[in-house]
A and B are shown apart, each in its own frame.
Chain A
Amino acid sequence: MVRPFIYLQEEEKKTSVEDIQKLQSEVITELSEYLKTFEPETRALSKSSIMGPVGKLISSAASGRFENKDAIVGFVVSLHNNQSASKASPTCIANLRNAIEKLDELHKITPRRYWLRILREIDYAVFVNGYGQAAQKLATNQNARSA
């Protein structure tokens, strides 16, 4: 058999930085939205307290546990139910699923060497939003008290 002289090799589609950034900001928004519905049973002033189950979600994503999305959703919902004053509502679960799906998508398009950096950025961005919410609540409470 004559071996082909010329090979046709499909060029690998490169992901653009813009795509990654866009998806990354979507993930941040979704996770921040989810975090709004999370009210911890006992509030402590620390990053892990503000991040709630999102912190665990990000660390599990960093460790490569993205084989089964349902399992991840279940894991985060279980954490939510244990830590929160109220159980996870269907809207909350829907938000979470949405975020995890996007995170998975982001995982697929992000080159492996940038993945941890991207996750770190998501982690701190969600934390800033959570901190903002906490600051807003604090201001509202102070206003109510002074009124």
Chain B
Amino acid sequence: MVNLPDSDLFNRCIEVALKEKWHLLISKREATGTDSLLTHSLNVMSVAETLMKILGDFDEVETFEVLSGCFIHDSGKEDTEVQQILSGENSGSFKHKGDITRKAQLLEAIGVDNSLHETILAIDTIMERPENSSHKIDIACSQVPEEKVWRVVQLADQIVSQKSLDTIELKKGTLFAETLQRLGVNLSYHKVSMIRGITTQLLHNGVMMAYQNHGWTPALYYPDGTVYISRESTTIPERGEILECVKDTVEHYIESIPACELGASAFSGDIRISILNSPEFLFRDDDCVEAFWERIISQKAIRGASFPSEKQKVDDWTKALATKADEEQAVIELRYKKVRAVTRLAIVMKEIASYCEEKRPEAWGFFIKELQERLQVKEGIDKVLRRVANTSPTEQLVEVYNGLTLPTMLCDKDVDFLIRATVIHFKEITKKLREFMNGSIQIDFQKIAEQLLNDLERPLVDDLHVRSLETNRRYQNGKTKGSVCCVLCSSVPTTTATKPMIGEGVESFINLMKGGIRINGDHKAWICPLCEFEAKIRLVFVPDNKETILVLPQLNISESIKKKWSKGLTNLIDGMEALGLKPLRDRYWIDIIISAKIDADEKQIFTDIIQNNASKEAIIRTVSKWLENRYTSIDDMKPFLANDATALKDFEDAALHIVEEKLYLPREVKLEMEKDVKKSAGLHCSYVSPNYILITSAFPIAQMDESETSAIIRKVFIGLLLSRLFLASVVYPDIALGMYYHTGPTKGYLRVPKKLGLVNIYKNLGISDWIKVGQIDDMLLKLALYLKVDDLLLATGSSFGKDNLLNLFKKQPGEVLNRYLQVNREINPALYTYLVQANSI
């Protein structure tokens, strides 16, 4: 009778591998891309598990033997000489087989019963091709287990060892093909040509669904595709089936987004620049219309427009708004606020009506009729409304204001009431317009799915010649203005880009086009429908796409690492967001790194972060800000509290009491607060398909007033942190909404963002393109220590200015200490310790 351990074998293997520092060892030759020994071993385990499920007929003991065999199969690579060969430091070949005593030790560490050691070691010996005569003798002497048992380990290792999907093609006569044949397993895969972000994740999921419908099981995920295995099926889904699955996936995804978020995202950015980004989202249902207008009135430009300061404008407005000769300035300013609020709301309403008119010409007449019925406006207001814009002359704005408010005497009310009353009418008109349009403004899922299929390289591929001709169609048809193809992905462009969408200024200069090209008038940067859709979806979750991070598998990932990713996202990132903490803020992580707690369980790390003083202050600040927005004064808030709170001084005091759980908000208020607070973190981690995680943030990683070069150092830290948390590779795409072309396997933990000012620093740190597998822990600790010093210097007013972080790398520790001493005239032992420790790494 064999005793099998109760707890999860995968978790134990991760623990042991981290303890043995397998995450710092490479498993493949580094020059052509590698993953760590930890991820490789776990992936082999997972794929073997999937294979066993497909093949069936494996009892509990056999399953355990196979998984344990997978875990130790490459432990011979722990050897320093082997590592040197793999990293390219030394040349030559190496033996896969390691020391048997060491393997037995590892088996013991993961809790394998002694009675199973012999079989597991035999599996390990026999699964590799004989490397030399002693290996052959070992094989001959082993107590050979059943063929299916060791073949599963062999096949799992061969599948996981494929560095990219391009190399996975089966060639007759190879060991890979032979193993597949012996086990009676079929293999297939799908591949995409570029990684867009959320839309590509939806494409991955759609294709995966189509494969699953044909009896295939996903076994291994690459950033650009998925490997499937099957015992019976050999048929690959047809274009029509894939199209249907992709369409369903996209549709379900959009339907799963709450109406309030989807509707609100129809507007994004600054109301003075752009108004309606995603009309399809606004016209989805009435809830979306409500959410859209709520987002509009939360704009500062509407609630509190500031009176102009230029003399000419002051004169214009005074002349237009004063009712008597020496009218008080305060009265004029109040009237100005009202005019601005109403006219800006009217401009939004007009934009919606104009958009509807483009689709159905009668829509404008319908809108004016509704407006007249509700606000009793005068005949002829439509002519003024059609012309009105944010930059319209003062008289025109006043005319619109009077036209809308005078008939119902709304102008006599205060600003807040006026805004609310106007918006109630506009909401109803928008709803009526939605009914009037009768579903003609909505997302065309079929078209999106069709375009997404163009990104597929396998199992379908389009004729590239036809596609390039399509792309150039506008140019061939005598195009004179706008970019020839989509500035982001080079596909057929259909719409002009706006700043909230692509994150770049599009008025006069854009980084995405050739130097010297002037963008003005009708000459704009154009983007394709897919890039537009991607931008719109991202705007649903984050109001501004300031930072984009891709967390990619090192080579590939399997179910076990996928679980770790999900755990990290749910327990750590989501948890922090729920408290209003910004997970990409470095200060929450520095102490975790310095005290070497990064390997702890995600929940433990989360508790540690919350106990951190900086985090607590941030949570109190966020809650206090929320309370301030919700209630006009502290006295206004007190009656709504669930328990007695008469002694509260201000909102900050109230926030402190709430965070320390001495004061309880009513349940519905608390839920509302949690939702808002989570949103205020401004982060969205999209993990729709297992292939990669897309992180978008509304806030930059850089600190305020920090130079771009210092900000990149901070980005390197956050990138390394994410790669360490998820045991994955991290890439910062060059452009926030830009494509990522996964041209080959990753070559380490982080692809460092480049900047001219950092060339020497990277050189001194021994970093080239990637932070290599073996470098991560040292580099992370070094950066954490420097960031700690940076914080200390900033807190004591002895920083080197906006380039502080950069200077810490450039200057000698003595110079930093001297700077601190000059300003503070005191010895700081902590500063000394951090600096010396950072320099010794």
Partners in one complex: yes
Instruction: Please list the residues of chain A having a beta carbon within 8 angstroms of any beta carbon in chain B.
Output: 45-47, 50, 120-121, 123-128, 131-132, 134-136, 138-139
Residue of B nearest to A127 (CB): B814
Give chain B's interface secondary structure class.
Answer: helix
Q: Are B828 and A121 in contact (CB under 8 A)?
A: no
On chain A, the residues within 8 Å of B832 by CB distance are: 128, 131-132, 135
CA distance A89 to B822 in the complex (A): 31
Q: Are B821 and A124 in contact (CB under 8 A)?
A: no
Partner of A45, one of B821, B829, B836: B821
On chain B, the residues within 8 Å of A126 by CB distance are: 814
CA distance A46 to B826 in the complex (A): 9
Chain B nearest CB: distance from A136 CB in Å? 8
Q: Are A135 and B835 in contact (CB under 8 A)?
A: no
Q: Are A124 and B818 in contact (CB under 8 A)?
A: yes
State whether the Cβ of B813 lies closer than 8 Å to any Cβ in chain A. Answer: yes
Which among B813, B821, B835, B836 has the highest number of chain A CB atoms within 10 Å? B821
Q: Are B825 and A127 in contact (CB under 8 A)?
A: no
27 CB-based A-B contacts, threshold 8 Å: A45-B821, A45-B826, A45-B827, A46-B821, A46-B822, A47-B818, A47-B821, A47-B822, A50-B821, A120-B812, A124-B813, A124-B814, A124-B815, A124-B818, A125-B814, A126-B814, A127-B817, A128-B812, A128-B813, A128-B814, A128-B836, A131-B817, A135-B827, A135-B832, A138-B827, A138-B829, A139-B829
Q: Are B813 and A45 in contact (CB under 8 A)?
A: no
Q: Are A132 and B821 in contact (CB under 8 A)?
A: no
- Residues 784 to 841 of chain B near chain A (Cβ within 8 Å): 812-815, 817-818, 821-822, 825-829, 832-833, 835-836
On chain A, the residues within 8 Å of B814 by CB distance are: 123-128, 131
On chain A, the residues within 8 Å of B828 by CB distance are: 135
* Interface residue tally for chain B (C-beta within 8 Å): 17
Give chain A's interface secondary structure class.
Answer: helix
CA distance A126 to B815 in the complex (A): 11
CA distance A132 to B828 in the complex (A): 9
Chain B nearest CB: distance from A137 CB in Å? 8
Residue of B nearest to A44 (CB): B825
CA distance A81 to B291 in the complex (A): 80
User: CB-defined interface of B723-759 with A at 8 Å, one 1/0 digit per residue?
Assistant: 0000000000000000000000000000000000000
Q: Are B827 and A131 in contact (CB under 8 A)?
A: yes
Partner of A124, one of B812, B827, B829, B833: B812
Q: Are B817 and A121 in contact (CB under 8 A)?
A: no
CA distance A43 to B821 in the complex (A): 14
CA distance A47 to B815 in the complex (A): 10
A134-B827, A139-B829 known; A125 vs B821 contact (CB < 8 Å): no
Chain B nearest CB: distance from A147 CB in Å? 17
On chain B, the residues within 8 Å of A134 by CB distance are: 827
Q: Are B818 and A45 in contact (CB under 8 A)?
A: no
Partner of A135, one of B815, B818, B822, B829: B829
On chain A, the residues within 8 Å of B812 by CB distance are: 120-121, 124-125, 128
On chain B, the residues within 8 Å of A138 by CB distance are: 827, 829
CA distance A29 to B812 in the complex (A): 17
CA distance A88 to B411 in the complex (A): 89
Chain B nearest CB: distance from A58 CB in Å? 12
Q: Are A128 and B817 in contact (CB under 8 A)?
A: yes
CA distance A128 to B811 in the complex (A): 13
Residue of A nearest to B818 (CB): A47
Residue of B nearest to A120 (CB): B812
On chain B, the residues within 8 Å of A124 by CB distance are: 812-815, 818
